[in-house]
Amino acid sequence: MPRSRAVLSVLAVTASALLVSGTAEASADPPLPSAIFRATHNSYSGNVDGAKNSITYQLDHGVRFIELDIHDNGYASAHDYSIGHDSPGDLVDHAGNPASNRLRDWLDVIDTWSAGHPAAAPIVVALDIKDDLTDNPSYAAGNLAALNQELTSVFGARLLRAEDYPASSPSVDALRGRVLALLSGNGQSRTLYKRDIGDNPAIAINGRGQVVEVHDSGSGTLWYWTGTYGADGRVTWLRHGRYDTGVTPAVALNDNGDLVEVHQSENESTLWYHVGRLGADGEITWSPSRRYDDGILPTIRFTDAAGTRLREIHRSQSNSQNWDWEGVLDAGAMTVSWGGHGKTSDARYDKATSTSGTARVHVWNGADGPTPSRTLRVDTDRHAGDRIRYQQVAFDEFQKGDSAELQQGALFYAAPAGESAFLTAARQAGRLARGWDFDSAGQATDPMVTYPATNRPYAAWYQDLLAQAGAIE
């Protein structure tokens, strides 16, 4: 069976009997997946491409789905993403809109409107990611943690985070005045938002509940995640980034937020270390990489309560003999003074497990449903099997032709408006469905898509169709 038909078959089997057909007989306060809303395609393009007018005008006239195409070009200098179709500024209509192409300025317009209209139906802000954000090596370079931060800082308490979406669908009235962010566009970025993969993971936790995880990519680069162990016993991941090249990393973390990372070179049996300083925001300031020995499979621990004395144990590059080093951390200079060194019969440390008091964290690889076997997972003393991933601030859209990973748990489905079978099946299954380039009444489905995203929202045919469907404002 072709994959697209298989997806539709699954959707049809799970169809919700509670859905209405999208006619005017719909409940005055339906569950969100049963409602219909006015929506625009490439909302930022105003009258440059279509006839939409400004973002404020669209919201004033009942549009509740706004789409912004974003790029990461120049993020490191601008500290923001840029609006535009094929490139920053492309097809952007500045008439009545922000004079700049910076995403924050456009989000501020939506936030200001939402704050002034607390009784309005929930607004979905779709960010169509035009560039691959997975190659951005840090928060400072504009990775998905930076995008999360921008959304939460602009919308604040009005933002309904995806991770807080109720298990039972809320009614439209219950969500009035709220904003939902949606990631669309680049598939690699959307996939990384839901999970990460890597090899040879290691983890450390300190007495303040700070957590650092390190792993290698499987192709010679080293990456880190930082987070906090919460009162609920789960780890909330804050920052993610690339910090060096190499393989088989390990990490030790003291209660001051000082860390020492050790790893093996990718193509040689040489051992290297970094000292790092973990900030309150979860970002790590790294020292240069320094070589300290030859060998493979290094592991490391702090051995005193003060978090200054270290012991590193690794294996010989030529046989099964283990060797160790004693070290003293100079946190100010961000260096380690290595002292005693010799053979040891002690086993290497379990770098995948770390404890502090009653808190325990353990990192491992394993598939989670349709995710790859190299998916990074974390157990704690109170929860097992969570993914190591970005906070689920935004919803992740599933589009026709996407992988099963992106379909798993997806609330929002999308396709060109002409893909009526896919969109109809999504609606029947209780999903929020968007059909983009919805530019004629003949593209209407039954049930109607949740968000018929048009380029001409004020055309008589669109207004009549949405009024008949009982569109909610």
Q: What is the pLDDT of residues 64-105, one digit of tens each?
A: 999 999 999 999 999 999 999 999 999 999 999 999 999 999
Do 290 and 340 lie in one domain? The reply is yes
Supply the pLDDT for residue 26: 52
Do 180 and 200 lie in one domain? The reply is no
Do 83 and 147 lie in one domain? The reply is yes
Residue 59 included in any domain: yes
Which of 364, 387, 410 is the last residue in one of the domains? 387
Burial 54-85 (b: 16+ CB within 10 A, else e): bbebbbeebbbbbbbbbbbbebeebebbbbbb
* Mean pLDDT, rounded, for 260-271: 97
Q: Order the strands of the 376-380 sheet from edge to edge.
A: 353-356, 359-365, 376-380, 386-387
Give me the residues paired with residue 253 across strands. Answer: 259
Q: How many Cα neighbours within 13 Å face the side chain of 34?
A: 22
Burial (Cβ within 10 Å: 0-12, 13-18, ≥19) of residue 109: middle
pLDDT at residue 127 is higher than 80:
yes
CATH of the domain at 173: 3.20.20.190
pLDDT at residue 18 is higher than 50:
no
Comparing 18 with 131, which gets the higher pLDDT? 131
**Six-digit token string for 317:** 């590059």
Supply the pLDDT for residue 28: 86
Residue 318 included in any domain: yes
One-character DSSP codes across 81-102: -EE-SSSTTTT---TTS-SS-B
Percent of the chain clearing pLDDT 70 (strictly above): 94
Do 205 and 239 lie in one domain? The reply is yes
One-character DSSP codes across 326-390: EEEEETTTTEEEEEEEEEE-SPPP-TTEEEETTEEEEEEE---TTS-TTBEEEEESS---EE---
Q: What is the pLDDT of residues 223-244, one digit of tens each?
A: 999 999 999 999 999 999 999 9
Do 221 and 174 lie in one domain? The reply is no
- CA 159 – CA 382 distance, rounded (Å): 28
Supply the pLDDT for residue 188: 98
Q: Is-contact 337 331, C-beta < 8 A?
A: no
- CA 213 – CA 204 distance, rounded (Å): 7
Supply the pLDDT for residue 281: 96
Residue 166 included in any domain: yes
Distance of CA 41 to the CA centre of its chain: 23
Q: Is-contact 298 314, C-beta < 8 A?
A: yes
- CA 346 – CA 361 distance, rounded (Å): 23
Which of 387, 416, 434 is the last residue in one of the domains? 387
Residue 302 included in any domain: yes
**Six-digit token string for 350:** 């379990």
Total domains present in the chain: 2
Which of 387, 407, 431 is the last residue in one of the domains? 387
pLDDT at residue 209 is higher than 70:
yes
Do 221 and 344 lie in one domain? The reply is yes
* Dihedral angle computed from the Cα positions of residues 16, 22, 28 and 33, in that order, rounded to the nearest 10 degrees: 40
pLDDT at residue 19 is higher than 90:
no
Looking up tokens 């408006």 gives 417
Mean pLDDT computed over every residue of the chain: 94
Percent of the chain clearing pLDDT 90 (strictly above): 94
Looking up tokens 């039954």 gives 446
Residue 175 included in any domain: yes
**Six-digit token string for 129:** 């990611």
pLDDT at residue 463 is higher than 50:
yes
Distance of CA 80 to the CA centre of its chain: 17
Do 348 and 237 lie in one domain? The reply is yes
Supply the pLDDT for residue 16: 34
pLDDT at residue 245 is higher than 60:
yes
* Dihedral angle computed from the Cα positions of residues 158, 417, 194 and 153, in that order, rounded to the nearest 10 degrees: -20
- CA 162 – CA 450 distance, rounded (Å): 18
- Domain, as residue range, for 369: 196-387
Residue 73 included in any domain: yes
| pTM, two decimal places | 0.93
Supply the pLDDT for residue 6: 39
* Mean pLDDT, rounded, for 163-186: 97
Do 52 and 155 lie in one domain? The reply is yes
Do 41 and 143 lie in one domain? The reply is yes
Do 230 and 370 lie in one domain? The reply is yes
* Mean pLDDT, rounded, for 138-159: 98
Do 412 and 284 lie in one domain? The reply is no
Do 327 and 244 lie in one domain? The reply is yes
In order of 25, 377, 415, the CA distances from 188 in angstroms are 40, 19, 17
Comparing 25 with 309, which gets the higher pLDDT? 309
